[in-house]
Amino acid sequence: MSEKRVRKTVAVALGIVSVILAASLVGVFAFYVPMINDKNNTIVEKDLIINEKNNIIDELNGQISQLNTSATNLQDQINFSNLSVTNLRNQVNNLTDIINLNKSMLWISHETKDLSTGVPYQENVPYAGYVVAEVSSSQSNETIVWLTYSSHGVNYDNRISVGSGGTAIFPVLPSSNILIFFYQANPQIIDLHQYAIVTITYYY
């Protein structure tokens, strides 16, 4: 066989192989391309479903946030209402104590008072009640407690002798000019200073 014929045979064989490979590739593309397209379409559909689900989740999270805000606002309202109720109860209890004269205010405690000066204690009384004046260790056997005030057209003036020690009780009405004097009755020596220990408590 001549060299020329051999080359021709090889060329023909290579052409046949090329045609077979080309046909195979066409078959592969024809088979797999639709499958790839189907997979891509499935992925797109899945992405759309995922986006839709994410939108639903975002919407539900928004609703949850609004509900949490509403719950917080309601709790704040409940707390404010409870505080208002507590304040009202405290006011009622305070007024009940005032009505029953269960409250008190210490005006002075164990203060040394010069019975010869004639200088009164002046106090303000916001509610009706009574004043208790206690005298102890007085150097005078004739110590007088004198309380006076004006209120609602009433002019109150009362003096109680407590000797060298004792308690004087006076009823009082609301007034801003309560005057309380401590002095000795009929002092034998005017220039002699005599002292007493006094305590005044206001009950209302």
Looking at every residue in the chain, the average pLDDT score rounds to: 87
Give the model's pLDDT for residue 107. 98
- 151 CB burial (10 A radius; 0-12, 13-18, 19+): middle
Query: Which residue in 135, 199, 120 sits closest to 165, CA to CA?
Result: 135
CATH of domain 104-203: 2.60.120.1300
Res. 33: pLDDT tops 90? no
Ranges of each domain in the chain: 1-100, 104-203
